Structure 1
């Protein structure tokens, strides 16, 4: 018998450390090759660490929420046979761990007390009050997927029960910020502490745009996605940025350097079961409305299911945020550091509008947009939004060169 040490693998791209966001084993648990042991997060990408040996867990080297350096011991496994001769993983083995598929064998899954699921699925189940022991997994080796959760809820199973008696509650729950939630908190703190925000709100008459959107959806081909208002907004932003390049920029406030970008890489703030993520629609200036819609659907789905790649979550030059039907009347969006502008979409509402003679019903939508006042003056911010407004209120202008 001997010990085998699994180290934090080199995840690549110069990453020197990662945050431990979940353990799937504990001391005393049996493990087999390819069984998922832990999940770590760097930036906004989650990587699952599999075992390369058969044995029993002896020791865990970190707690959930800890930051672990690449190459540091992550856990020790008691092994027998040839594996006992290897006291610790080599650099090549660490790279193999990072690249290996994060799946567990069914035999080991049956022995573990914890259902097999990704961190995003576990968080979704926790927030919904669903006991994963009651959910049948259909993924690799019985792993529980988002679709399994949907099916479980669709069967009408009540995730939690409520007492009928009105009894005062005295329980207190302390929740440690870990994983994506901690990174969101750090990002928001950075943005609000270092960026002097100016927020500009303007109402847009989208009646004609909504008519155009309905017509295009009615005439679309079977291979074309259903259009929302976002592809039209993206096209309007691209056109307005041509005249106001100052808003399509990033600001290195430590070096005092503003970088204006020719390419328009639009971040789309999307709510997912794991928290807020910002997938990036690249080169919006080179896509038409249909191409924008197709790519938007792909990116949002990848973010929702936790399959978005690192390059799909970084590199944005300006961000759009929308809460859909929950968009409210006015919001004060926080800039995605180090960008200098974020466009907030509020919900569309039917409002009475005076046309000079009478009030008529029109579909109105507010844009609530924030700008870095160190880089963008109030006049420039207002001029930019007024150009976007003109394009959206006369949507035929969007496609005119």
Structure 2
């Protein structure tokens, strides 16, 4: 349904505006049909005196034509429907004056103004609030009955025909008002329900965004701040102190950029050798001299930039855990690339005492958030094996997983 240029939709009146447009589209042709019938009757036998017929007809049909055009184009429909409803009631009130002294009426033939009673009713439905709609629906037929009996001089043969005409107009007008009220009520209910649904969705989206931000900040705090504090607390050798200083510097840098995406940057593909180089460079920033072993097939797929950054960050969290909890005993990192299936695997091993993954509290995010969740978020997989002989963290990404 086309938009009315008379107004613009807002989120709370989407259906109401379309119901109003449908109503005006219906009113235009219906009024045209009844108006044509009244116009034909107006060119026939005239009940008005000389000098009254033409002004009265023009005073009614000109606003009627303007109303039909306004309803068809969808502009100023309420203005012109309201104008016609008022003009018709004025013309109806002047009918006894216009017909006084004119030719005697026939009880079997209705005057041309009769055919416009329900047009005035539907015009009031478009233009006026509910209370005035009821007034017009009742007043227009009753006023016609009164003026028709006045025109007939109160003759008894007019009682039954006038009563039938009035009752017919009342019933038809009541049906029209009831139907429009029902459709408008349904539209209002639909818009209210839609607004509530949109509000609930927005609230749920805001809650989800807040939770995601909380998890991200918690992971950041663990990766950077808590890791630096733990490293500083446990530092007892120059090497450990150097690591703690590097971690603190990294923590300050990441906190300063906390509002930015942790995975921002170019998403240009990176080869597996470059991934190994990034791990070595990040380890040096932590004060760990690490040589990454490379086992790469010639056709190893290139890794998307976001995936590469996630694998590097997860690997560095595993390296930091090995330094903090295993004092870097047996620390080794290996990057493997396979052509079939196309995949890249990063393994971080240490020879520490190991740990029980299931015994780690839920609020500790070093492994769950900074390793497992981070790799899963980019379509990868992670596996942690730990025992008395050491811990192995395996990070895997296959080219067909997500990218």
TM-score by length of 2: 0.20
Higher relative contact order (CA 8 A, sep 6+): 1
Structure number having the greater helix percentage: 2
Q: Rg: which structure is higher?
A: 2
